[in-house]
Amino acid sequence: MDFSTKPVSERGGMQPQTESLGTQRKGFFRSLFDLSFTSFVTASVVKFIYMISLIFVVLYVLSTVGWLSFLSYAFIAGISESEAIGVVVGVLLFLVLLPILLLIAVTYVRVLLEIVIVLFRISENTTELVRQGRAASANPPAKPSFEKVVRDTDQPANRSADRPTEG
C-alpha cells in the first residue's frame, strides 16, 4: 500500500496505490525494516508469538496459583492446630484453580491473536478489493445494447404482414 503524502496528481493520477498480494510478500527481515509499512510482519510470526505466549501464560498461572496455594496453606495452618489441614486446602486450591485459570488465560491470548490476524486479513482483503476496483475502472466493460426484440401482435399492420398475399 502506498501511504505517501504526495497528492494524487504527483503520483500519476489514476495510478493504483496498491499492489497485488503476491507482490507485497517480502522476506521477514525486509518486512521488519520496511519503514513505509507496505508489508506486515505479524501474520508471518503469529505462530511463534502464540507459542512464546503459551509458555509465559503457563509459567505465570503456575506461579500465581502456587503463590495463592501457599498463602492459603499458611493462613489455614496459622489459624488451625494442624498443619495437615493447610496442606490439604493448599493442594485442593492448586488443583481447582490451575486448570480454570490456565483455560481462561490461554483463551484470552488466543482471542487477542485471532483479532490481530483478522485485522490484518481485513487489510489485505481491502487492499485486494481496491486493486481490483481500480483495474476494473481502468478497463470498463462494453455497454450492452438493449434492442427491442419483442414483436407486437396486437397491431393490425403486423397481422397483415403475417398473412400470405393473394393474387
pLDDT (average), residues 85-114: 94
Considering its fold, how many domains does the chain have in total? 1
Q: Rg for the chain (alpha carbons), in Å?
A: 35
87 domain residue, yes or no: yes
For residues 16, 21, 22, 28, the Cα torsion angle rounded to the nearest 10 degrees is 120
On the question of pLDDT at 44 being above 60, the answer is yes
Is residue 65 exposed (0-12), middle (13-18) or buried (19+ Cβ within 10 Å)? buried
79 domain residue, yes or no: yes
35 domain residue, yes or no: no
161 domain residue, yes or no: no
Q: Are 25 and 39 in contact (CB under 8 A)?
A: yes
d(CA 73, CA 80): 10
What is the end-to-end Cα distance of the chain in Å, rounded? 78
On the question of pLDDT at 149 being above 80, the answer is no
115 domain residue, yes or no: yes
pLDDT 10s digits, 96-110: 999 999 999 999 999
pLDDT (average), residues 22-41: 70
d(CA 15, CA 69): 64
140 domain residue, yes or no: no
11 domain residue, yes or no: no
> What are the Cα distances from residue 85, in Å, to 34, 67, 78, 94?
60, 17, 10, 14
pLDDT confidence tier of residue 142, bands split at 50, 70 and 90: low
- Listed range (15-24, 35-44, 79-88) with the worst mean pLDDT: 15-24
pLDDT (average), residues 135-159: 63
On the question of pLDDT at 160 being above 50, the answer is yes
83 domain residue, yes or no: yes
Which residues constitute the domain of residue 66? 45-134
Higher pLDDT, 43 or 76: 76
pLDDT at site 20: 42
